[in-house]
Every structure is written in structure tokens, then in C-alpha cells.
Amino acid sequence: MPISLHHLRDGWAVCHDGAWAEIDHTLADLLAMPVDRARAAVEAASRVRFRPGPTLPPLDRQEVWAAGVTYRRSRDGRREESGHGSLYEHVYTGERPEIFFKASPWRVVGDGEAVGIRADSGWDVPEAEVGLVLNAAGEVFGYTLGNDMSSRSIEGENPLYLPQAKIYDRACAVGPAIVPIWSAGPGPFDIGLRVLRDGRTAYAATTSTSAMARSFEDLAGWLFRALSFPAGAVLLTGTGMVPDVDFSVRPGDTVEITSAELGTLTNPVIEVGEIG
């Protein structure tokens, strides 16, 4: 089993083969170090017998950013929802990727917590993604799963509405843990997405990060070109699973994102905000 880092209410812990160890460092501490030093700190954690309590999203001081149109299916989905097909084709094939701010750490929800859809949007989807946990030097420290909830109706109306379609309360879920790069390897990773409704599967799809048009290192490099992250950052890498135009998530649904290497992130769906 891979090593995983978990954010508990009273600190951070490492799990390896079912054995738990308390670690004296925060994630911000680890991401301020080079990867080899952070690995040594993780592996030096003292194993103790304890039963971990509820977990928090696996970040502390890290912003969450996201990349878009990194899969062909994402490009096609953007075309479906808008009349700006050439714009998204340029983003998909251009040198510079689409990278946008997604969430402050206090706005991120974790495994088991509710994600939201906007009350003023009628067409909403989850976006299942691999998240890169990047250190202060822009190196990949590890991976996690992310759900970049998105209002297709708002973004489809006008691409300049992207922040409103992407950034709102409960629009970002991350978890359940961080798997360090030395445990998970460089990928690629298979990802599955299911939307459960009334106990049945309303939507299901799978993809692999091998289908991405850009590499993890390329996306991280662009994020760090003119931005500094002393405590590190999380970068969601885009989705390769976009439901057809006749599907929208609803309050009461449950979104389940799975990866054999990175675990399972599960979140019920609620409505947030109000109609003005």
C-alpha cells in the first residue's frame, strides 16, 4: 500500500500499510523543503498505536489553483456549452495553458463534506482531477484527488464569467489524503467518476492522465512562472470526463472520484447561495 499523509484535527499523520505515525511537521513545513528533505522528515515519523479521528482536507496554508482544457474531452465540452469553439481550441493547442485560481484553503472541503452547486445556475457538473501538491520550488511533492465543481451554464454564457462558474462556497473538494511522489510514482493515473442519485449510478466515466495534452511538470512550471508559494500549492490538472449536455448534478446527489493509487474522494451535493 502507498504511504499517505492525512490532515487530522490536531496535526498531520502518516499511514503506511495500516500503521499510523504522528509527524511533527505541518504540510507547509514539508513543502518549504526540497523533496528529499521532506521525504526524510516523513519517513522519520515515529510510529505509534492510535486510531485517527475525522480527517480534514489535506492542506493547511496552500491555495488551490486549476488548469483547464488539458484533455480533448474537456475542449469538446467547452465547445458544447458555448459558442466559442475556436477560443478553446486555441487554449488546448497553444503553448500557454489555461490556469486559474480555484480556492483559498479555508474554502476547500474534504472527503465526506458537501460540495455545492450555485442556486443561480441550472447546469452543473463535477470535474474529477488529479491534484499536484507542489513545494515552494515548484517540484511535485505528491498527489491528491480534486473535484473542481463547475457551472456550465454560467461559463457557457460568457467565458469571462469563468470566476463565477468556478469560485464559490463549496466549489472545491480535495482529498482524501496526499500520496507522496516517491510512493505513488510519476503516473499516469487512472481516474473514475460516479454520480450517485437515489442509490443508483446516474453518471459514470473513466479516464487516465496519459490522455492529457500537457505534462504535470509543464503545468507546474507555468503556475510558478510569476507567482511564489512559500508554503507550496495544490494544482488541479484538468478533467477528461465531462457529462453530455443533458446531464446536471442535483442537490442530494453524491459525487465519487476514485483512483487505485490515490484513494476515493466522496462528497454529497447541496445547493449554495441564492437567486438574486
> Do 238 and 267 belong together in one domain?
yes
* Residue-level pLDDT at 45: 86
Which of 164, 139, 135, 170 has the alpha carbon at shortest distance from 152?
164
Residue 49: count other Cβ atoms within 10 Å of its Cβ: 6
Residue 92 · residue 213 · CB < 8 Å:
yes
Q: Which three cell numbers stand for residue 124?
A: 452543473
* Residue-level pLDDT at 108: 98
- Look-up of cell digits 449536455: 245
- Per run of 10 residues, the mean pLDDT along the chain (length 276 residues) is 88 89 94 97 82 88 94 64 66 87 98 97 96 98 98 90 96 98 93 97 96 94 98 96 92 98 97 90
Q: Which three cell numbers stand for residue 229?
A: 508559494
The enclosing H or E element of 173 equals strand 172-180
* Residue-level pLDDT at 219: 97
* Residue-level pLDDT at 28: 98
CA atoms of 259 and 145, how far apart (whole Å): 8
CA atoms of 182 and 2, how far apart (whole Å): 9
> Do 40 and 80 belong together in one domain?
no
End-to-end CA distance of the chain: 49
* Residue-level pLDDT at 49: 64
Q: Which residues neighbour 44 within 8 Å (Cβ) at sequence distance 6 or greater? A: none
> Do 163 and 198 belong together in one domain?
yes
> Do 119 and 183 belong together in one domain?
yes
SS3 letters for 57-101?
CCCCCCEEEEEECCCHHHHHHHHHHCCCHHHHHHHHHCCCCEEEE
> Do 22 and 43 belong together in one domain?
yes
The domain containing residue 19 runs over which residues? 4-55
- What is the residue type of 208? S
> Do 37 and 143 belong together in one domain?
no
> Do 10 and 135 belong together in one domain?
no
Q: Rounded to 5 degrees, what angle do the CA atoms 65, 68, 74 make?
A: 145
Which of 55, 82, 97 is the endpoint of a domain? 55
* Residue-level pLDDT at 82: 58
pTM of the model as a whole = 0.94
> Do 213 and 260 belong together in one domain?
yes
- Residue 89: φ, ψ to 5°: -65, -40
How many structural domains comprise the chain? Answer: 2
> Do 138 and 188 belong together in one domain?
yes
**Collapsing DSSP states into helix, strand and coil, what is residue 250?**
coil
CATH number at residue 112: 3.90.850.10
CA atoms of 265 and 271, how far apart (whole Å): 19
The enclosing H or E element of 27 equals helix 27-31
> Do 80 and 172 belong together in one domain?
yes
CA atoms of 229 and 138, how far apart (whole Å): 8
Which of 36, 55, 74 is the endpoint of a domain? 55
> Do 145 and 220 belong together in one domain?
yes
> Do 11 and 95 belong together in one domain?
no
* Residue-level pLDDT at 275: 87
Which of 15, 33, 55 is the endpoint of a domain? 55
